[in-house]
Chain A
Amino acid sequence: MNRIGNQTIKFNNPPTILETASIVGPKEANGPLSKYFDKCLEDEFWGENSWEKAESKMIKEASNLAISKSNLPISDINFCLAGDLLNQCISSNFGLREINIPFFGIFGACSTFAESLCLGSILVESNAANNVLCSVSSHFCSAEKQFRFPLELGNQRPQSAQWTVTGSGCAIISKTGQGPYITHITPGKIIDMGIKDSNNMGAAMAPAALDTLITHFKDTGRNPSYYDGIFTGDLGYVGKEILTELALSKGYNIKSNYNDCGVLIFDKDAQDTHSGGSGCACAATVFSGYIFNQLKEKKYKKILLIATGALTNSTTAQQGESIPGIAHAVSIEI
């Protein structure tokens, strides 16, 4: 493992993504990617009496599912890296309190999944671990409750608003395996272009995605056409268009092979999700379900996952602070 360029890490013995698992809520189950998810829930409570409990259950069950799919005994998983959107990452803490694996709670807002893949692959490559579990979750109802208004409040959402994905996505990174391999990671910087509108997260995060994207290309000497697919986490329709245009203005044409997980997961018109999906589970479930499947079937051979996060909370938003963005890139090849 060595650093190349300004902020990219190249793995000499690239860690394998051994297995993934995804659980999603009913709205995601009705979306275009339905068939790629391991489990689709019929309602948002999943037999629990609060949304927070339901979210904990999702991350717990998705983690267990990933482990059982990998055929590894739990004792072979050396570390768990997990995070979510609720205060103090409480869904992960509660959901994984019985899993009995050394645990790091991490927070990168909606970029947490890519953050966990970055840190997990460093742990594996450095010989600190043989297998690492990366898990994240988000829940539309618990996120709305924490960040916005009660669900039953009769208000209107602006067109640029996004819909938090209900679900959990997990991946197991392993020292040995047949790929797909994590070959490079480009951890991003916090970029704040002063956007204050919490109903326009895509615009707030797009500059961070742009910075990480361009840095990744400069550090690795690659260009957009190197990848079969470039996927951002949850820029949504608004952020996707901004990133595409800004990248082009900087000399990188990503039009033909770029898409956004928030755009892919919902049918914008039929599901009334405005600018698309968001939340930790957006990038995580789309990767664990759809993209990982396409890599396994060799429909994609080289992809770049750039999960994006809006580093805000409801207090700073009310205090009129802007929304800093972050984006971490993970290059995955078979």
Chain B
Amino acid sequence: MNSTPLDTKQDYQNYVNSKSPNSPILKNCFNAFWVGGLICTTGQLISSYCQYKGLDQNMSNTIVSIILIFITAFLTSINVFNKIGKFAGAGSLIPITGFANSIVSPSMEYKSEGYVMGVGGKMFTVAGPVLVFGISTSILVGILYFIFNI
């Protein structure tokens, strides 16, 4: 035990770090891995089925997105997706399911402030940064791609 953890803020921070319980990283990683894998496998199954039925690759991918987003929005609305998210962490956050959840959840939360400034105004409070930096990065990559392919 550090005998004088209150001497400086840094000492206290170090002391607090040693006292704070860590998240169960191995368990979280394992759950994220298999749930994330399951979601992606589901997407692949839908995509393969669409292609088997004669749709092209692009259309199949769009249908995968639509179906996964719908399922997530539905599960969010009946208060189930947050439990999946708590269990799986990045496993359900990283696929398109996380993005859908991040838009539906504030929409539900701020419904009490009305449809315009509540639902409309707050819908992107969580997803906003993802959109801004996602789109910005894609533009940047597009420019680089353009330059190096001339």
Contact = CB atoms under 8 A, between A and B. Distances in A.
A283 to B, nearest CB: 22
B contact residues, range: 35 or more
Interface in B82-124: 82-86, 88-89, 92-93, 98, 101-102, 104-106, 108-110, 112
B12 A193 contact: yes
Interface in A117-162: 145, 149-160
A321 to B, nearest CB: 13
B42 interface: no
Given A151-B105, A153-B82, A156-B28, A241 B19 contact: yes
A246 interface: yes
B149 to A, nearest CB: 39
Nearest to A160: B20
B82 A159 contact: no
B12 A154 contact: no
Given A154-B81, A155-B85, A246-B5, A149 B126 contact: yes
A246 B109 CA distance: 40
B23 to A, nearest CB: 6
Contact of B82 (A154, A242, A246): A154
A158 B82 contact: no
A155 B90 CA distance: 8
A219 interface: no
Interface residues of A, number: 32
A249 interface: yes
A193 B4 CA distance: 13
Q: Which among B3, B84, B98, B109 has the greatest number of chain A C-beta atoms within 10 A?
A: B109
Nearest to B106: A150
Nearest to B21: A159
A200 interface: yes
A153 B85 contact: yes
Interface of A: 49-52, 145, 149-160, 193-195, 200, 203, 207, 210, 238, 241-242, 245-246, 249, 275, 322
List the 3 shortest-distance A-B pairs measured between CB atoms, nearest first. Answer: A154-B85, A194-B9, A150-B109
Given A155-B93, A156-B86, 8 more contacts: A51-B112, A152-B77, A152-B82, A153-B85, A154-B86, A195-B12, A238-B20, A249-B1
